[in-house]
Amino acid sequence: MSDERWTAVDDYLNEVFVADDPVLDSVLAANATAGLPPHDVTPTQGKLLYLLARISAAASILEIGTLGGYSTIWLARALPADGRLVTIEFDRKHAEVARANIERAGLSAKVDLRVGKALDVLPRIEAEGQGPFDLFFIDADKPSNAEYFAWALQLSRPGSVIVVDNVVRGGAVVDAASTDASTQGVRRFMDVLANEPRVDATAIQTVGLKGYDGFVIVLVKSTETA
């Protein structure tokens, strides 16, 4: 099966499940104009994030890796009126574009965008007493996935959901000898998951207009430390 077929089917599914959405269209246009890398989740994946947030009745969300705020906006739209989303972005230019996009989406009051390296910002979020968060979306630099997951667990409660993007990488994840730091980062994170009794998790492979990849979904069962 070809990539063209995956894209054609994704286009079809977008027509069925993602209604005309001028705000999201303008976000992707702004990201392209600013020269951001096209690493946003696809529309159907954004809708999945939105649905997961609604299904779990999430009122507090933590995102690591904002880019232009495309996934941020999908997630923040799922929040109740008093809900809150914290999103962390390392790149100042990405954060600037995201801030304007989130404003245009009318979500500035719900979204707290923190600029900095996630491993610097996460301890501050904890020190501020934020959390536990109901839902996490981990989608930043892949070599740090295991550390981000440890932080998510730390800032979670039993019942929290953790979604981790880009864990299949065109199938590269099965290559134990890979010299790619992102692939090794994903594999190290997978090892952590396989040996973490406090969670239940699975991974789903995906194809679509951004190729072949996949995501992990985690349910936190317990937050007791061993």
Where along the sequence are the contacts to ligand SAH (CB under 6 A)? 39-41, 65, 67, 70-71, 88-91, 94, 117-118, 139-141
Q: How far apart are CA 204 and CA 163, in angstroms?
A: 11
Query: What tokens appear for 84 in the block?
Result: 């809150």
134 binds Mg ion (CB under 5 A): no
Provide the residue type at 175 as one letter. D
Q: Considering the complex, what minimum distance in angstroms separates the CB of residue 139 from ligand DHB?
A: 5
What count of other Cβ atoms lies within 10 Å of the Cβ of residue 165?
Answer: 23
- For the window 148-167, what string marks contact with Mg ion as x by the rule CB under 5 A? -----------------xx-
In the complex with ligand SAH, which residue's Cβ is closer, 102 or 193?
A: 102
- For the window 38-77, what string marks contact with Mg ion as x by the rule CB under 5 A? ----------------------------------------
Binding site residues, ligand DHB, CB under 6 A:
39, 139, 165-166
Q: How far apart are CA 151 and CA 215, in angstroms?
A: 18
Binds Mg ion by CB under 5 A, chosen from 10, 89, 134, 139: 139
In the complex with ligand SAH, which residue's Cβ is closer, 60 or 72?
A: 72
- Rg (Cα) of the chain, in Å, rounded? 17
Give the dihedral sign, CA 115/71/106/29: positive
In the complex with ligand DHB, which residue's Cβ is closer, 92 or 157?
A: 92
Q: How far apart are CA 109 and CA 136, in angstroms?
A: 19
The DSSP code for 117 is -
Q: Considering the complex, what minimum distance in angstroms separates the CB of residue 154 from ligand SAH?
A: 17
**Cα dihedral 28, 90, 54, 8 in deg (nearest 10):** 40
Identify whether the C-beta of residue 73 lies closer than 8 Å to the C-beta of residue 97.
no
In the complex with ligand DHB, which residue's Cβ is closer, 39 or 104?
A: 39
Which of ligand DHB, ligand SAH, Mg ion, none binds 101 (CB below 5-8 Å, type-dependent)? none
Residues that bind Mg ion (CB under 5 A): 139, 165-166
